[in-house]
Amino acid sequence: MKQRFLILLLLLPILSFAQTNGSVKGLVSDSVHDYGLQSATVTVYKKADSSLVNYQVTNNQGEFNIGELPVRTPLLLSISYSGYNDFSKEVYLDSLKKDFDFKKILLSRDTSRQMEEVVVKAVVPVRMNGDTLEINPDAFKLDSSAVVEDMLLRVPGVTMWSDGTITVNGKKISNVFVDGKPFFGGNPEIATQNLPKTAIEKIQVYQEKDYSKQDISNTEMDSTFTMNIKMKPEKRKGFFGKIGAGLGTDQHYEGDMTMQAYNKKTKLAIAGNLNNTNKTIQDVREAIQNNTFRSYNRRNFGAPNANAGGLNTVHYFGASLQHNFDESTNSRFTNSAEGEYNLRDSRNNQLTNSTTIQNLTGYTITNISDRRNTGSSLNQSIDAGYENRKQATSFSTKANYSWNNGQSSSEGNTTAFRNDTVMASRRRNTSAATSHSSSFNLNGYFNNNDYDEGINKKSFSTNFSVSSNNSESNSNQTSRFESFLDSIYTQNTDRKYHNENSNFTTNIGMNYNGLRSLLFGNYNFWNINIGLRNNFRYNKSDLNANVLELDTLTNTYQVNEALTNINSVVNIEDRPGISFFKTISRTLSDRYYKSISFRTDLQNQFLYQKNTSTLSYRNLERSFHFFTPSSSVYYNYNRFNQYNLNIGLSHNSSANAPSIDQLYPIVDNINKYNIVVGNPDLKSPLSNNFNFNANYNTQRFNEKTTYTAGLNLGYNTFKNSISDSSIFGNNGSRTSYLLNIDGKRSFRGDVNASASFRINNKNMLQVRYNGGAGGSHAPQYITTKKQDGDFLTQLIYTQTRNQNHSIHVFYSLTDLFNISLGESINTNNSQQVGTGKAVLKAKTYGTNARFTLLVPKNFTLSTNVNYLNNISAQSQSEEATLWNAYATWRFMKMKQAEIKLSVFDILRQNRNITNFANDNNTTGTTITNGIQQFYMLTVSYFPRRFGGRTGRSGSRRSESGEQRQQRPQQQFRQQNNTQRGGGRR
């Protein structure tokens, strides 16, 4: 695999292009008053197919000098400037005369009426209009079926990362809007891979405040970058979708149907999917993002989910409707309602094999288990929401009702070995269950900003949520436990559980941000903002459990008095606090901006807990309070047009009261390998969390390379953490007693770095590295029975360490091919400190490669290989190579039809393998069956129309006709902008 990688790297430099070293220059001037026309657009086209070769905007003196032009090719130079007649002239450069000087080119004023149709061939691809970067689609000559993404791949400064992220001049785009509003759920691909380039007027990129933040502490870090795709006015309604069906070997099938329709105010999406190929469709958004028009998508949507456990069959139907009550295209304001319905019928068939190893003081216990699960469920849900955001107030509410019927059955065998050799015990269990549940959720917020005088006296925000769940389940569980080392411990259990649960939770939060003005009036208190906050939470859960147990003597089911109970628990939490916030910033125009923000929240947490139960030992009433402060410092340094650096350091603390099931659990001994016994003396654990992060990115306008780097460090400590004291029987059974132990801590560090190099207009290379390391230190007691019969109790510390590194290289030659290679390593260690036990290590190596060939035209060949090698704690190697291949052919004039041949898992090796290392000194490997080799032939059709029914439909109109139609409007706009651009303060 590594060799392959090297070969490809060596190949890269060979993939350069024909000689382009000609140039043209000249001076564009007003014919009457003879002065240089600045910002006139000079564009060079290939004469043969009028494709854009290069362009330039004239400088302050009206001059231009365009290089990188092909020689021995007939070219057309065209100059346009608003209010003037166009100029165009043919140029032919050859090796003897590579540089041509036009000298002075006089443009004459256009004396005809302004609004008359003027054919202008040149437009500026990218320009800054004030704070907004504007991308003009008409400047990019592409195939008539091209979508927005095809264009973005060619825009200087825009990087489409191979993981789906979009950055513009190094800044990550957080939102992609269409006409100022999220487009069908807001996933960028739904807009960029569906909307045809020809339907777009322009794309704007700008910075805006994060309106979802409800707090007083808006800092530089809270602002986000938005990309807004502005549709041409006549294209602001249309529909697009996909209908596809596929049949495969081994009775595999899939069917897709999505349809999205939109107009200025309303968006409707309908989606359906039937498959038994492990495609997991949860909601409308996922269904439509799996079925975008662009034939090549970077994230490999729509392929079977190789990580899904078992074999799954899904029948899905969903619909969503979004309606804006006004036609405003301003993303700041909204007044909209939305609704969604989802129905999902799924069946799952799963085989799981797992091995876990646990280090005890004198020996190890290895559990080997296999398990077979079958299940089916029918889920339905209805969502409704309303949002209204105005200049000073915003209100949002969302409601959801869902209901679910499920059935499942499983059987499993577990065998426990002592020191890998001596069989200690065996358990066989079966379970059959049916359940139905329903839940209702309502949540929302209301914010009021009193921004009229900048004094915030009436500035507050509230949020609320109510949720109610009801569920009922019946299950029958049997267990046969055989102990080989301790013969008294053989046990058969056969129980019927009938549980009825109901749960009600409500949460109300309030923030008041005007305390400073209220206390000090006009005095601004050294610019320290003060906020008051309170969060109230009420929760009640009721459980009615009926447990019947088979009495082997009478062969009848008798009530199990220990487990049958009615329980009701009430938790009330209130968290009042006061917060202080201050920002100090320094600017030196054209040089730097720096700011540092401090924030501290002083909060107290009051908890009240009451439990009533038919089991008398579980009746209790308790209350607690904790002081849980949090603080943070953020630093931002922005060197203009060079780089941006953000550093943050934060601390927070929180406490949790032990739950009734930790204090007085109902001990169910059906699973001998894990019996939990509570502890009524448990204290509340208090955690302190520290986090440090740093981000760096270059910020050079129109630069060809972009670098970003980020670092994140986290450290948590726990006081009175709830750990356990486990007593292990000879046969591997385990009983845990919960208790408080200090000294638990964990850390986590992540580094990510990425670089993108645009070698020229078509060649792009991206490199990404993600790395992380984490670890924990957790104390616990272990009690084992020694050979002489005595019990030995020992305090041990489990140390876990895990690391993951991945490097990803992506190279694309637009329109020809792209290739990505990745290598990842994950390691997990677990070690007992103080017992001299050997370190348990598990490693996973992953290598993946993906290659997509896009020639000949309309034909896409793509293949990906994913090789995994898992080395478990016992040094056993588990390997699996998943190799898939796809061939896609697009046909019809607008490429609306597709035939696709897929081969999944050519090598018939797909399995899901995971390694883990837990705090309680356990490491293990789990292997689940996955879907294996099949061939499938899929036929799809993409119905699309953008623009009204009258006249020729947008998608069928030729590119040049499109441009001519739009010109006058555009010209006028451009002209306004030029003037405004210069005059911004």
Residues forming contacts to other proteins in the complex (CB under 8 A) are 30, 32-38, 59-62, 82-83, 114, 130, 330, 333, 390-392, 451-455, 522-524, 526, 586-591, 640, 975-976, 978-985
* Closer residue to other proteins in complex, CB, 27/306: 27
Question: In the bound complex, what is the minimum distance in angstroms from residue 587's beta carbon to other proteins?
Answer: 5
Question: In the bound complex, what is the minimum distance in angstroms from residue 972's beta carbon to other proteins?
Answer: 8
* Closer residue to other proteins in complex, CB, 192/456: 456
Question: In the bound complex, what is the minimum distance in angstroms from residue 641's beta carbon to other proteins?
Answer: 8
Question: In the bound complex, what is the minimum distance in angstroms from residue 577's beta carbon to other proteins?
Answer: 25
Give dist(CA 614, CA 266) in Å, integer: 54
Structure tokens at 236: 């602001």
* Closer residue to other proteins in complex, CB, 836/982: 982
> Residue 689 is which amino acid?
N
Question: In the bound complex, what is the minimum distance in angstroms from residue 216's beta carbon to other proteins?
Answer: 15
Residues 6+ apart with CB under 8 A from 279: 254, 273, 290, 302, 304, 305, 314
> Do residues 31 and 83 lie in contact, with contact meaning Cβ atoms separated by under 8 Å?
no
Structure tokens at 283: 């909601």
N- to C-terminal Cα separation, the chain? 56
* Closer residue to other proteins in complex, CB, 115/559: 115
Bridge partners (DSSP) listed for residue 783: 727, 793
* Closer residue to other proteins in complex, CB, 949/984: 984
Residues 6+ apart with CB under 8 A from 388: 334, 335, 336, 394, 395, 396
* Closer residue to other proteins in complex, CB, 83/743: 83
Give dist(CA 662, CA 678) in Å, integer: 5
Question: In the bound complex, what is the minimum distance in angstroms from residue 864's beta carbon to other proteins?
Answer: 46
* Closer residue to other proteins in complex, CB, 329/804: 329
For residue 859, report the phi and psi dihedrals to the nearest 5 degrees. Answer: -125, 125
For residue 759, report the phi and psi dihedrals to the nearest 5 degrees. Answer: -70, -45
Torsion angle of alpha carbons 728, 734, 735, 741, nearest 10°?
70
Question: In the bound complex, what is the minimum distance in angstroms from residue 985's beta carbon to other proteins?
Answer: 7
* Closer residue to other proteins in complex, CB, 448/830: 448
Bridge partners (DSSP) listed for residue 827: 803, 843
Q: For 654, which DSSP code?
A: E
Give dist(CA 305, CA 270) in Å, integer: 22
* Closer residue to other proteins in complex, CB, 743/981: 981
Structure tokens at 154: 């060619």
748-779 burial code (b ≥16 CB/10 A, e <16): bbbbbbbbbebbebebbbbebebbbbbbbbbb
* Closer residue to other proteins in complex, CB, 214/312: 214
Question: In the bound complex, what is the minimum distance in angstroms from residue 979's beta carbon to other proteins?
Answer: 5
> Do residues 695 and 709 lie in contact, with contact meaning Cβ atoms separated by under 8 Å?
yes
Give dist(CA 214, CA 531) in Å, integer: 12
Q: For 215, which DSSP code?
A: S
Question: In the bound complex, what is the minimum distance in angstroms from residue 964's beta carbon to other proteins?
Answer: 21
> Do residues 575 and 507 lie in contact, with contact meaning Cβ atoms separated by under 8 Å?
no
Question: In the bound complex, what is the minimum distance in angstroms from residue 804's beta carbon to other proteins?
Answer: 42
The closest alpha carbon to 762, from 723, 708, 817, belongs to 817
Structure tokens at 8: 């490809």
Rg (CA), the chain: 33
Give dist(CA 37, CA 292) in Å, integer: 44
Question: In the bound complex, what is the minimum distance in angstroms from residue 139's beta carbon to other proteins?
Answer: 23
* Closer residue to other proteins in complex, CB, 420/452: 452
Bridge partners (DSSP) listed for residue 496: 476, 548
* Closer residue to other proteins in complex, CB, 37/120: 37
The closest alpha carbon to 860, from 810, 818, 894, 812, belongs to 818
* Closer residue to other proteins in complex, CB, 553/588: 588
Give dist(CA 433, CA 475) in Å, integer: 4
* Closer residue to other proteins in complex, CB, 35/891: 35
* Closer residue to other proteins in complex, CB, 59/490: 59
Question: In the bound complex, what is the minimum distance in angstroms from residue 584's beta carbon to other proteins?
Answer: 12
Using DSSP's 3-state secondary structure scheme, residue 302 falls into coil
Structure tokens at 691: 């986090």
Residues 6+ apart with CB under 8 A from 268: 260, 261, 262, 319, 320, 321, 322
Question: In the bound complex, what is the minimum distance in angstroms from residue 589's beta carbon to other proteins?
Answer: 4
Give dist(CA 725, CA 675) in Å, integer: 12
* Closer residue to other proteins in complex, CB, 557/643: 643
> Do residues 178 and 194 lie in contact, with contact meaning Cβ atoms separated by under 8 Å?
no
Question: In the bound complex, what is the minimum distance in angstroms from residue 114's beta carbon to other proteins?
Answer: 7
**Length of the chain as a residue count:** 985
Give dist(CA 27, CA 37) in Å, integer: 8
Question: In the bound complex, what is the minimum distance in angstroms from residue 977's beta carbon to other proteins?
Answer: 9
> Residue 840 is which amino acid?
L
Question: In the bound complex, what is the minimum distance in angstroms from residue 286's beta carbon to other proteins?
Answer: 36
Question: Count of alpha carbons within 13 Å of 664, Cβ hemisphere only?
Answer: 16
* Closer residue to other proteins in complex, CB, 836/983: 983
For residue 3, report the phi and psi dihedrals to the nearest 5 degrees. Answer: -65, -40
* Closer residue to other proteins in complex, CB, 36/406: 36
Question: In the bound complex, what is the minimum distance in angstroms from residue 39's beta carbon to other proteins?
Answer: 9
The closest alpha carbon to 418, from 682, 116, 787, 715, belongs to 787
Bridge partners (DSSP) listed for residue 248: 936
